[in-house]
């Protein structure tokens, strides 16, 4: 059975953080606190991921963030590729 967490490399964590922050801002969500209702996650979780203070993130957490960021009709391929790459690392 596969681990339920994704362990990120330092470079992978930075790429993920940059992709999340960039896409969140593109969607007009200016802060992690504002992003929280969209994902259902605590803003501290989102903030710690965006600040690269976590290198081990649950698949459910990433899935919630991914769903929120990619549900827009204008899905950006680099963001999807970043998420796909992170999930393949596990």
pLDDT per residue as tens, the chain (90 positions): 455 888 888 888 888 888 888 888 888 888 888 888 888 899 899 999 999 998 888 888 988 888 888 775 454 555 556 666 655 544
Residue 22 backbone phi and psi in degrees, to 5:
-60, -50
Whole-number pLDDT of residue 47: 92
Number of compact structural domains in the chain: 1
Q: Does this model's pTM top 0.85?
A: no
CATH of the domain at 12: 1.10.260.40
Of 60, 10, 22, the residue nearest 39 (C-alpha)? 60
Torsion-angle region of 52 (φ positive above 0: left; ψ -120 to 50: alpha; else: beta): left
Its domain, for residue 36, covers 5-89
């Amino acid at each position: 059975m596969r681990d339920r967490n994704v362990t990120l490399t330092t470079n992978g964590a930075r790429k993920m953080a940059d992709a999340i922050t960039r896409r969140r801002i593109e969607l007009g969500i200016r802060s992690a606190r504002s992003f929280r209702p969209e994902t259902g996650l605590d803003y501290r979780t989102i903030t710690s991921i965006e600040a690269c203070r976590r290198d081990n993130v649950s698949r459910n957490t990433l899935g919630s963030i991914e769903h929120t960021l990619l549900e827009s009709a204008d899905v950006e391929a680099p963001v999807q590729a970043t998420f796909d790459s992170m999930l393949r690392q596990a």
